């Protein structure tokens, strides 16, 4: 009987220790998040939404640039065909 009580007490002690450890872990995570938020607030960083918006704008600009390059190339070829003596044949 005394042995069972000893095991019960030990089990309760371990359960309490586990609960305390989980509480400490949550408190440390909260403090770390707070510190990181304060550090990021002082830095000149962009949000994920701003980054994604600029990334999309850059992609659209690249697509437009490629389209315009092809258009210029086509116009140069047309001009070279219409006026072969005036244009370099290395287009």
Give residue-wise pLDDT tens across range 22-73: 989 999 999 999 999 889 888 888 889 999 999 999 999 999 999 999 999 9
The SS3 call for residue 88 is coil
Mean pLDDT of the 77-90 span: 82
Taking alpha carbons only, the member of 65, 64, 66, 89 closest to residue 76 is 89
Structure tokens at 83: 């006026």
| C-alpha to C-alpha distance for 47 and 69, rounded to whole angstroms | 33
pLDDT bracket for residue 88 (50, 70, 90): low
Q: What is the DSSP string of 41-72?
A: HHS----HHHHHHHHHHHHHHHHHHHHHHHHH
Any idea what DSSP says for residue 86?
A: T
Upper half-sphere CA count for residue 71 (Cβ side, 13 Å): 6
Whether pLDDT at 1 is above 70:
no
């Amino acid at each position: 009987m005394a042995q069972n009580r000893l095991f019960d007490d030990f089990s309760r002690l371990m359960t309490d220790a586990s609960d305390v450890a989980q509480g400490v872990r949550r408190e440390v995570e909260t403090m770390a998040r707070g510190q990181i938020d304060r550090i990021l607030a002082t830095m000149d960083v962009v949000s994920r939404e701003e980054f994604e918006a600029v990334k999309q704008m850059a992609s659209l600009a690249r697509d437009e640039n490629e389209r315009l390059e092809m258009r210029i190339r086509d116009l140069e070829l047309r001009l070279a065909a219409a006026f072969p003596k005036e244009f370099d044949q290395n287009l």
